[in-house]
Amino acid sequence: MENEHLSKPSIAPVMHCFAILLACVTFFLLFVGALVMSTGSGLSVPTWPLAWGKLIPPLVGGVRYEYAHRVVAGIVVILTLTMALWALMTERRRIVRNTALAAFALVIVQAILGGLTVLLGIPLPIAMAHTSTAIIFFCTAVALAIFTSRWFEEAPHLEEPPHRVALTTLSVITTLVVYCQIVIGSVVRFVNDAIAIKDFPIFAGPALPRVMSEAIVSDYAHLGDAIAVTFFVLWTSLRVFRSHLDQPKLVRLAEAMVLLLALQILLGLTTVWTDGAVIPASAHVAVGAGVLAASVAMALRAFRLYGRPRSAPQTASREPVRGTFERKVTA
């Protein structure tokens, strides 16, 4: 009994709360980063890591947004480093240790890309790499919050109701589609000085304009993937409502996905109608991150419940056969 107790992975509620804190601060960092883009403050502080050689620059104009972004990013780095060291020293579950280490590696890469984005004058490839890495890091932080929970350790493996597409697969596809939508939205924000299509959803001109600029192409790509996001989010949610009502955590996630999607569409329309006003545009990015977080949580929880079952213990069915054979040879 003692050996069995020692071999069981520890479940630390404090670590789980700390992982949730990391995910929440990272979510706030995405919102502050959206504020930087919405206000055009990306080069308000053109030096890095210090601001004109100072730790705290004069907080005027766009400097307030850019400096706030750096401060929150520094807090995220400290929290991630603490989480990684904590997991390495105390956590027995490999998935938690590896995820914490991956999060720390991602946040370092993210910080370097952020510095290069500033020092090189926001070149599009590096800026997009910075944004894409930030979203992956946020997904990793959400995964840490789930992996460190007691539910993830103790949830049983269940048989999923038969469907052509398993809930885990459907949730992963939804997550990828939402991720692509956020990346495309970032391209729209980097490429467009203003909203290229300002009369959505009723086009005043032709559905496909004769002259296709980068801004118009990026807007149409964003619109097309938004339709795909809507389709897959609703498909995933309806699957849960129809076949998984016995799992309250999945039901709550499905409800959150639908509500966040509705809010996201409303904020997207408001952003277009207000020609990219700061608050609606920044909130649009933040709510998109919320949809992504819910989708990641759905995929991980579905895999935990319906994914690969734990290996069954070895049976002793072969032992009597071997013993019988040995007795015959001895005889």
Task: Give pLDDT tens digits along the chain (331 positions).
Answer: 444 333 344 557 899 999 999 999 999 999 999 999 888 888 898 988 888 888 888 888 889 999 999 999 999 999 999 999 999 999 888 999 999 999 999 999 999 999 999 999 888 889 899 999 999 999 999 999 999 999 998 888 888 888 889 999 999 999 999 999 999 888 887 776 556 566 665 555 556 666 666 667 777 788 888 999 999 999 999 999 999 999 999 999 999 999 999 999 999 888 888 877 889 989 999 999 999 999 999 999 999 999 854 444 444 433 444 444 344 444 4
Geometric angle at alpha carbon 124, from 120 and 130, rounded to 5°: 80
Task: Collect all residues with Cβ–Cβ distance below 8 Å to 126 and sequence separation of at least 6.
Answer: 113, 116, 117, 120
Chain-centroid distance of CA 218 in Å reads: 22
Contact 156, 175 (CB under 8 A): no
Contact 135, 182 (CB under 8 A): yes
Domains of the chain, by residue range, sit at 12-154, 157-309
Contact 292, 178 (CB under 8 A): yes
Contact 110, 72 (CB under 8 A): no
Point out which residues pair with 54 in neighbouring strands: 51
Q: What is the DSSP string of 58-116?
A: ---TTHHHHHHHHHHHHHHHHHHHHHHHHHHHH---HHHHHHHHHHHHHHHHHHHHHHH
Q: How far apart are CA 65 and CA 58, in angstroms?
A: 12
In terms of phi and psi (left: phi > 0; alpha: psi -120 to 50; beta: otherwise), the region of 61 is left
